[in-house]
Amino acid sequence: MKKNKTQLDPNTGVTGKKRSVLQLIENFFQFNDLAACKKKLHSIMSCAVKRNRWISEEPSVIFQFHQSVQSFVRAGYLIHLEGKKLDVQTQENPSPLVLGLLSVEEYQNPVLVFKKAFKEYSIKEFDYFMSGITYFSMGMYENPPERNLVIPYIHLTKMLDAAQLILERRRKRDLEAVSSKL
């Protein structure tokens, strides 16, 4: 008798093949523009912190965003684990306008952002943070959130910037490799 295994791993597809970390990040940014994602995260966060305000978007849109950010956090954890294999470091010194929330060291090596974030918080804590701000942004509440929500928010925003930077550098390196072969 043949036993069928149910795949519970979120990193596997229908075919059972594991995707690369960069493919997971690429998929996230195909459905979520960086600026729009940061704006939506900011609006959810500000509604969660203010007691007398709730988010005006449809709950289904917020829930879909919540789910996609959770999968992004899991992909970020894989970046944290496979950081040395990615090879996305650069020695260029950027202008302060390009940095955003990232420090110069984090800009030069974006994997540091993920290492710092997951050194301070676990995946479960990021899930708790996302669930909390989603819940508190959906309506008015009597008691304020029990935890500090600002630091995970900053880590998540920096992870979004760092992931976009990793993808840009990988694309640039792939284009240079193709052009050198021609």
Whether the per-residue pLDDT at 124 is higher than 90: the answer is yes
Structural domain count, the chain: 1
Local confidence band at 85 (pLDDT 50, 70, 90 cut-offs): confident
Q: Which of 55, 77, 59 is nearest to 67 (CA)?
A: 59
Whether the per-residue pLDDT at 13 is higher than 50: the answer is no
Classify residue 145: in a domain, yes or no: yes
Classify residue 141: in a domain, yes or no: yes
Classify residue 87: in a domain, yes or no: yes
More confident residue, 74 or 171: 74
Classify residue 14: in a domain, yes or no: no
Domain coverage including residue 177: 22-181
Whether the per-residue pLDDT at 8 is higher than 50: the answer is no
Dihedral sign from CA coordinates of 163, 164, 167, 168: negative
Classify residue 109: in a domain, yes or no: yes
More confident residue, 101 or 67: 67
DSSP tag of 12: B
Classify residue 3: in a domain, yes or no: no
Q: What is the pTM of this model?
A: 0.82
Please write the tens of the pLDDT for every residue from 14-70: 444 456 888 889 999 999 999 999 999 999 988 888 766 778 788 888 899 999 999
Classify residue 8: in a domain, yes or no: no
- Percent of all residues in the chain with a pLDDT value above 70, rounded to a whole number: 81
